[in-house]
């Protein structure tokens, strides 16, 4: 059975190659958690939804650089500091 980290690493590899289905899976896995964090900070549903969209848009727009310059880590720290670390930290163990 695949661990959450293994699944995240597989998704990362696929997203780097431009796999839209993998990106959709990433969104399904983490969008509610990003929303929950954003809402807990902002106390505004529309603003929290916007943060979710901005976060995932940033990931997709830079998907080809997913292993370079810690872009996922930067996205995490700039937009959603408490998104579960299993997804974001998995990138540090992958080779380009």
pLDDT one-digit tens code per residue, 26-82: 999 999 999 999 999 999 999 999 999 998 998 899 888 765 544 454 444 454 444
87: tokens are: 């997804």
What is the DSSP code string of 57-72?
HHHHHTGGGTTSTTHH
Comparison of pLDDT for 2 and 14, the residue scoring more: 14
Closest CA to 49 of 67, 35, 30: 35
Instruction: Answer whether residue 96 shows pLDDT above 50.
Output: no
Rounded mean pLDDT, 81-93: 44
pLDDT of 67 reads 59
Between CA 36 and CA 14 the distance in angstroms is 26
- Residues with Cβ within 8 Å of 54's Cβ and at least 6 positions away in sequence, in order, are 79
pLDDT at 11 over 70: yes
The CATH number corresponding to 4-93 among 3.40.1580, 3.30.310, 1.10.1740, 1.10.3210 equals 1.10.1740
């Amino acid at each position: 059975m695949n661990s959450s980290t293994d699944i995240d690493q597989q998704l990362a590899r696929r997203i780097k190659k431009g796999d839209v289905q993998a990106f959709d899976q990433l969104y399904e896995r983490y969008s509610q958690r990003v929303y929950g964090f954003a809402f807990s900070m902002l106390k505004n549903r529309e603003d929290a939804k916007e943060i979710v969209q901005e976060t995932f848009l940033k990931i997709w727009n830079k998907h080809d650089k997913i292993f370079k310059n810690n872009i996922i880590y930067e996205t995490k720290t700039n937009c959603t500091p408490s998104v579960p670390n299993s997804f974001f930290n998995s990138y540090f163990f992958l080779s380009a």
